[in-house]
Structure 1
């Protein structure tokens, strides 16, 4: 059912009262990260840290109630590279574990602007390397690990896959990109119509995306042309994982996510692209009873069952 006029008016009002993230990112972060839903009793949830030379990366594991071992979804959260953490995504990851039957590992990567690009990406890559290189301890093989992320996390997922190919330490077999950011320009000059069609009155605005990217870049605007920052800029996209891309109809990132999928196909990769009707950016945080969420998990589970073989 299309978004009716009353809902459009409510969305418009909510959108226009959002804070300016460039000057009030700490306030925005507190608002987002203060969401700590209670842990669901059927799940086994525990925290772990990955130790690097100069810092640690917290991760949270969500195991479904059925006996394991379970295949793994390595999850990179959204939030514009500036907000979000493993606490604010506990509800999302608990639901993901339950509805997919996978062990979900959520990565608490460093956030901008305190830690600009590529700090958060390097954390995600390090977490992926740790999981892939120690998959036997989880009772699985490397082909049973799928990278997944939403929004900025979808961007990080795509970038980790590119980095993995380039560095040669491991190679993911699958990735799932949920309404990902893949391009570097969300101004009115963007080549993608969804930036202008959906960039003002649907919660996430094109201006917000521009501001988040500015904070993520920090003092190095030249990184805007780096394909690890904007994967659509990659000169080559060969040898990428089997990919599922899910976009939302009323999302400013819709067209660039789908364009990334088509570019992957042109490079010889196996890709499935789905656009969820009447959905807004970030809808996967809603309860499973919502039609877009339910439909997305049907698509995700079909993708996982189709390609996931030990």
Structure 2
């Protein structure tokens, strides 16, 4: 990437920054409006359903069917947005793209958001949906639970990793595969104290900043002592054995790059099958880019190869 393009990206990122604590409700509303326009950019058939969370409440799920179904896999998707923004409406274009480009059904989970519902509410919702489908895949029209693949981007990647850990620890069936897209895996994003070079190098340059990540974490986990929990920071887990085959995609211009890759290496060191791929010229949030964007095309080439290997 040229120096001029990097400068342009930094300028755009800075112009679009906001105060997470003060503006999160306005961001939610803006995301929904942007996702709805123009409606012609996706035509993937969808239907809405519900799944039961452990405490009995209903979790909305939106299912996307590809224009051409090429695989029997179901991608169970947890959206990003720092556990505070994002929902099945704002992620509808991204999930429609995911369904079409993978040839899979995609089930997007509308988990509860902080600060109204802090940790572990969102995780409980994702866990409940995943556990229910893995125990009874017939609810999703499947006969083989190994066809269920967990997918999450950013905070959603964090939730997918935490769900896999929680399933194994609870003695329940673990998914055969997971795709973690530039996930949050650590609790410290302060450039002065973070152990990761990408936080120090990229923490104030592009789309996502260190301050924003820390603000998101503060809203998601109001009690600082809990932020070191393996279910908030999966990289802190002492036992990473028995986890799904994992594809970990990182973005080279993302402050989360190093911690995501560190989690992939930790999974591999624990005996799991892992592929780590860095999208060198990509910013945080690749999966939400338009279909013609080169980083998105590269991402789906790698995802397609991973899915092609099967369970």
Quickly say closer, same or farther: Cα 1:269–1:234, change in 2 above 3 A: same
**Superposition CA RMSD, Å:** 1.7
Range with bigger deviation, 245-254 or 8-17: 8-17
Deviating beyond 6 angstroms after TM superposition, the runs of 4 or more aligned structure 1 residues are none
Instruction: Provide the residue aligned with 1:55 in structure 2.
Output: 57
CA distance in 1: counterparts of 2:12 and 2:73, whole angstroms: 42
Partner of residue 150 from structure 2, selected from 123, 147, 153: 147
SS in 2 for 1:47: strand
Instruction: Provide the residue aligned with 2:33 in structure 1.
Output: 34
Range with bigger deviation, 173-182 or 13-22: 13-22
Matched ranges for 1:175-214 at <5 A: 175-188=178-191, 189-214=193-218
Check whether the contact 1:248–1:277 (CA below 8 A) recurs between aligned residues. yes
SS in 1 for 2:213: helix
Quickly say closer, same or farther: Cα 1:280–1:152, change in 2 above 3 A: same
Check whether the contact 1:39–1:91 (CA below 8 A) recurs between aligned residues. no
SS in 2 for 1:35: helix
CA distance in 2: counterparts of 1:31 and 1:16, whole angstroms: 15
Matched ranges for 1:94-173 at <5 A: 94-137=96-139, 138-173=141-176
CA distance in 2: counterparts of 1:108 and 1:3, whole angstroms: 38
TM-score, normalising length: structure 1: 0.94
SS in 2 for 1:279: coil
Quickly say closer, same or farther: Cα 1:39–1:173, change in 2 above 3 A: farther
Deviations 1:226-257 (A, max 9, x none): 10000000011000000000000100000000
Check whether the contact 2:42–2:96 (CA below 8 A) recurs between aligned residues. no
Quickly say closer, same or farther: Cα 1:14–1:41, change in 2 above 3 A: closer
Give the Å deviation of 1:203.
1.1
Give the Å deviation of 1:288.
1.9
Quickly say closer, same or farther: Cα 1:133–1:203, change in 2 above 3 A: same
Give the Å deviation of 1:7.
4.6
SS in 2 for 1:278: coil
Give the Å deviation of 1:133.
2.0
Check whether the contact 2:267–2:274 (CA below 8 A) recurs between aligned residues. yes
Deviations 1:150-177 (A, max 9, x none): 0000000000000010011221100000
Check whether the contact 2:71–2:103 (CA below 8 A) recurs between aligned residues. no
TM-score, normalising length: structure 2: 0.93
Instruction: Provide the residue aligned with 1:71 in structure 2.
Output: 73
Instruction: Provide the residue aligned with 2:247 in structure 1.
Output: 244
Check whether the contact 1:70–1:140 (CA below 8 A) recurs between aligned residues. no
Range with bigger deviation, 19-28 or 67-76: 67-76
Give the Å deviation of 1:51.
3.4
1:264 maps onto 2:267 in alignment:
yes
State how many pairs are aligned.
306
Quickly say closer, same or farther: Cα 1:3–1:28, change in 2 above 3 A: farther
Give the Å deviation of 1:69.
7.9
Q: Which runs of 5+ in 1 are unaligned?
A: none
CA distance in 2: counterparts of 1:3 and 1:207, whole angstroms: 27
Quickly say closer, same or farther: Cα 1:177–1:67, change in 2 above 3 A: closer
Give the Å deviation of 1:41.
6.5
Give the Å deviation of 1:209.
0.4
SS in 2 for 1:250: coil
